[in-house]
Structure 1
């Protein structure tokens, strides 16, 4: 379980929050603190106050992978093969172990044909999937996606979501404006002004949002997407 206690970081103020294993969607209006919450859970940001523990361990002592909301921010190397292999090489894995891991994750995500491409020639969607492969190649305990779905079409996104679920990832956290995607998660966290106004199973959270009158303010459902 991911546990947050007395968190104070920028707009986010969370006295206590527990996140179970599985897929958790973080939703809310722009400026509500979604990315800040994810950064705290990833260990990218140390909160001004409070603690975060993942199964009793601080995030920076865990294998946590992050995929940015901007495709170009995820890319460091000139070729797809080098990009996906980089976490394994940084960790000191052998050439054989690295190549095997790269082939396996790219085969699972259906991007083996991109391995010899230059990253600068990729489309935004292709860069997104390559970033995901890079994040998954070392089988992280926690995978965090910051509006990763913003530059993927629905069909690609649906296929990738199905592939992530049975992987070794213990916790998948993602923020999204896509309510259809959020409804498929195991847990939903609804933020407003940095505070958790609802957390739990998707149906229960969406019902609470409607009951308390937040829906007209923030969510207009059209084709499964929040606009």
Structure 2
């Protein structure tokens, strides 16, 4: 019998990040916690960018580097390689040596779906911040990845661009979407939430499960009914344990 799909993390260690065991099931997974809590390190290891000094990560029983991963960072233009939008979106397919005609058709079809057709011949540096994010998202989606990772991509976006981005991602129907975020509304929209602090995973569950109690077993947060409650988020990001 085949194993159920999951991201399996066992006994990993990298710098200050220590995770004895963590299972991530398919769906939209929000990773949240204070700056420096290990969110990016965890995502980089899942993407195969960083190899843990100890332990292992498998994705549907395969090594991380055997899985197609799309990545969009907080400042996506810092990782863009090409001058024009069309070339940047096409780059993953070109690196995999697909036929030029097929690449062009794929890029133009995806650009049409994402509303980027009029930007294809634009220089990347001339784009707005939101347009750069959507260009990077198109490059991440062009290979139809098994996992899409967004590392605080929403940090500098307005609500309209975030809505556009999330609608595109939903329509892509990807098995896994992992996103690090500080935004309560996006945490609330996830299927599952991972809360991190100081290199450790504190809680894993649905948004309601994660935030119905405090992190140390007391129930002083249990009356909270909304993930937008500022009292809850002061507790999430408190610097003291």
Which TM-score applies when normalising by structure 2? 0.86
Note the 1:34-73 alignment, pairs <5 A: 34-73=39-78
TM superposition shift of 1:101 = 1.3
- Measured in 1, the distance between the counterparts of 2:162 and 2:233 equals 25
Q: SS of 1:208's equivalent? A: coil
d(CA) in 1 for partners of 2:43, 2:92: 21
How many pairs are equivalent? 220
Query: 1:12, CA displacement in angstroms?
Result: 1.1
Q: Cα deviations across residues 191-224 of structure 1 (Å, max 9, x unaligned)?
A: 011111100111111213474767434459xxxx
Aligned twin of 1:216: 234
Gaps of 5+ in 2: 1-5, 222-231
Q: Could you tell which deviates more after superposition, 207-216 or 172-181?
A: 207-216
> How big is the shift at 1:108?
2.0
Alignment partners' CA distance in 1, 2:82 and 2:38: 30
Rounded Cα–Cα distance in structure 2 between residues aligned with 1:212 and 1:148: 32
Could you tell me which of 90, 93, 101 is aligned with 1:85? 90
1:67 touches 1:74 (CA, 8 Å); kept in 2?
Answer: no
CA distance, structure 1, for counterparts of residue 180 and residue 33 of structure 2: 9
The 1-side partners of 2:235 and 2:211 are apart by: 14
* CA distance in 1 between partners of 2:61 and 2:139 (Å): 26
Q: What whole-Å deviation, never above 9, does each CA across 1:55-79 have from its counterpart, x for those lacking one?
A: 0001111111111211322311010
- Give SS of 1:52's match: strand
Helix, strand or coil: the match of 1:14?
Answer: strand
Q: After the TM superposition, list the runs of 4 or more consecutive aligned residues in structure 1 that deviate by more than 2 angstroms.
A: 208-220
Is 1:187 paired with 2:188?
Answer: no
Counterparts in 2 of 1:63 and 1:133: CA distance versus 1, 3 Å: same
> What are structure 1's unaligned runs of at least 5 residues?
221-227
- The CA RMSD over aligned residues, in Å, is 1.7
Question: Aligned to 1:6, what secondary structure does the other structure show?
Answer: strand
